[in-house]
Amino acid sequence: MGSNLSLAFRRGQFSGKVQDMRPIAFALLLCCACGSQKHLVSARDLDFHQRAIVIDAHSDVTEAIFYEGYDFGVRHQDHNSDLPRMREGGLDAQFFSIFVHPESVDLHEFFPQSMKEIDAVEAMVAANSSKIAMARTADQIKANAFAGKASALLGVEGGHLLLPGTEDEQLQHLRDFAARGVRYLTLSWSSSSPIGGSTAEGEQEGLTPFGKRVVAEMEKLGIIIDLSHGSDPLLWDVIRLARKPLLLTHSSSRELSHAPRNASDAMLTAVARNGGAVCVDFSRTYLDDNFRKASQALLQKTKGMHPSEKQKLYAGTTLPAVPLSALVDHIDHLVRIAGVDHVCLGSDYDSAPLFPVGLEDVSKLPVLTEEMRKRGRSDEDIEKILGGNLLRVLAANEDH
C-alpha cells in the first residue's frame, strides 16, 4: 500500500493523467492485439505501470522526424512510436537518438547535421507542448510526469558525430552538445570513432588517447558514457577510467544471445561495480541467436537503409518469431548477474526491424510489467527496471 501511494504521488495521481488515459471501464484490462495473439494485462499491473516512472533509453524515431517529416504528435499505423502510443504505453521519458549514418553524408556534415536533428526534436516538442516537454535531469522527468507530460531527452549515438575538426574543436562540439541538453554520448557506433573501437570490426581498438580526453570532459559536463556498440577493449578501458556511473543504452545478454553488441557476464559485473546500468534491447536480433543467424543475409542487404525502409522489407519475410518471454529471460539474466539496481530498458524502437511478439510498439509496454510480475518480481524491482535505475544514473551524472 505504501509503495502504491509513493508511486501515485510521484506520477501525480491528481494531475488527471491516468484518468485521461484510461476510462474506468478500460482500466479493467488492457488487451494488446498482436497478430493472432492477445496479451491481457491485469487492472493491478496496468495501474502500477501507469503510475511508475517509465523511461526508454534509446529510440531512433528522430530519423523519421528529421528525414521523413514524421509527425510524432499523431497516431500512426507504421513505425513503433508516437505521442498517442507513448501515452497509452505509459512511457514517461524517451531518449531521442541523435544519429547520422557515417556513409550518408560527408564527414564535414556530421556535427552540423546532428545539431539540425536536435532542432527537429525541439521543434516537435514545441508543436506538442501540452503533451511533452524537454528534460535534462531526473527531477525534470519527475516534474513533467507529475504535470501529465512526457519528457524528451537527447542522446548522441556515435563519437564520430564530434567530427569534423581538430581534437580541441571536437571537444568544443562535445561542449556544444552539452549546452543543447545532450545527456549521453555513445562512444562508437558500428564503425570506429576517434574515441575508440566498435563491435562491428574485426580488429577491435580500445580507448584512444583522444578518447581519454573525451571521457574526462564528458564527466565534467554531465554527459553519460554509453558503451553500447563499443568494442570489448573499449569497454574495459573505459570501465577502468570512469569515475561516474555509465550505461549500455541498448544491449542485452551475450550469454543468452551471442551478438557482439551484447554484454558478457564479466561486463555486467563490471558495470554493476561502476554503479551503472545495462538497458535491455528489444530487437529480436539481440535477443535470439536463431533469429540473428536467419536474418544475416537480409541484414547485409539493408545496410545504410533508413529504419522505416528496413522495417518494410523485413515485414515481408518469414523469419523466426521471438516471444516476449525471450526479452524477459534477458532481463532475468541481467538481474541475476548485475543485480536489480543495474538493469533498465533501451527499446531500439524505430531502428531494429522486428521486436518480440506482443511488444511491437511503445503502446504495448504494460505487457512487459505484467510478464515481469509473472516471474515473481516485486513492485520495487519492477519500478527500478522500468525507470528508477535510469533516474539514478542520470542524477549521478548531473553537472552540479
Tens digit of each residue's pLDDT (9 = 90 or more) over 322-373? 999 999 999 999 999 999 999 999 999 999 889 999 999 999 999 999 999 9
Question: Apex CA 30: angle with CA 24 and CA 33, to 5°?
Answer: 140
Residues of the chain above pLDDT 70, percent: 89
- Would you say residue 8 lies in a domain? no
**Letter string b/e over residues 64-100, b meaning 16 or more CB atoms within 10 A of that residue's CB:** bbbeeebebeeeeeebbbbbbbbbbbbbbbbbbbbbb
Q: Which of 20, 16, 49 is nearest to 32 (CA)?
A: 49
- Considering only CA atoms, give the Rg of the chain: 20
Question: Apex CA 224: angle with CA 91 and CA 131, to 5°?
Answer: 25
User: Residue 313 carries which side chain, given as an amino acid letter?
Assistant: L
DSSP summary character for residue 73: T
* pLDDT band with cut points at 50, 70 and 90 for residue 142: very high
- Would you say residue 175 lies in a domain? yes
For residues 311 and 353, the answer to whether their CB atoms sit within 8 Å is yes
Query: pLDDT tens across 195-244, in order?
Result: 999 988 666 799 999 999 999 999 999 999 999 999 999 999 999 999 99
pLDDT at residue 8 is higher than 60? no
- Would you say residue 381 lies in a domain? yes
* Interval 184-200 mean pLDDT: 92
pLDDT at residue 19 is higher than 90? no
pLDDT confidence of residue 299: 73
Q: Taking every pair of C-alpha atoms in the chain, what is the biggest distance, in angstroms?
A: 60
Q: What does pTM read for this prediction?
A: 0.91
pLDDT at residue 29 is higher than 60? no
| Number of C-beta neighbours around residue 44 at 10 A | 13
For residue 243, the domain's CATH number is 3.20.20.140
pLDDT confidence of residue 39: 65
- Would you say residue 368 lies in a domain? yes
- Would you say residue 30 lies in a domain? no
pLDDT confidence of residue 399: 67
Residue 280: strand pairing partners: 345
- Dihedral sign, Cα of residue 81, residue 84, residue 89, residue 92: positive
Cell of 348: 531500439
- Would you say residue 327 lies in a domain? yes
* pLDDT band with cut points at 50, 70 and 90 for residue 38: low
Domain encompassing residue 141: 55-396
Taking CA atoms, 36 is separated from 33, 221, 240, 358, in Å, by 7, 49, 48, 10
Q: Which residue has the higher pLDDT, 277 or 297?
A: 277
Kindly report which listed range (145-149, 155-159, 233-237, 312-316) carries the lowest average pLDDT score.
Answer: 312-316
- Would you say residue 5 lies in a domain? no
* Interval 31-47 mean pLDDT: 68
Distance CA 163, CA 175 (A): 13
Distance CA 32, CA 383 (A): 21
* pLDDT band with cut points at 50, 70 and 90 for residue 176: very high
- Would you say residue 33 lies in a domain? no
pLDDT at residue 32 is higher than 70? no
Question: Apex CA 340: angle with CA 336 and CA 342, to 5°?
Answer: 105
Query: pLDDT tens across 62-83, in order?
Result: 999 999 999 999 999 999 999 9
Query: pLDDT tens across 249-291, in order?
Result: 999 999 999 999 999 999 999 999 999 999 999 999 999 999 9
* pLDDT band with cut points at 50, 70 and 90 for residue 400: low
Distance CA 229, CA 353 (A): 17
| Number of C-beta neighbours around residue 140 at 10 A | 16
Taking CA atoms, 254 is separated from 192, 259, 268, 393, in Å, by 21, 6, 10, 23
pLDDT at residue 36 is higher than 80? no
The DSSP annotation for 102-166 comes to TTTS-GGGHHHHHHHHHHHHHHHHHHTTTTEEE--SHHHHHHHHHTT-EEEEEEEE-GGGG-SS-
Number of domains in the chain: 1
pLDDT confidence of residue 371: 97
pLDDT at residue 303 is higher than 80? no
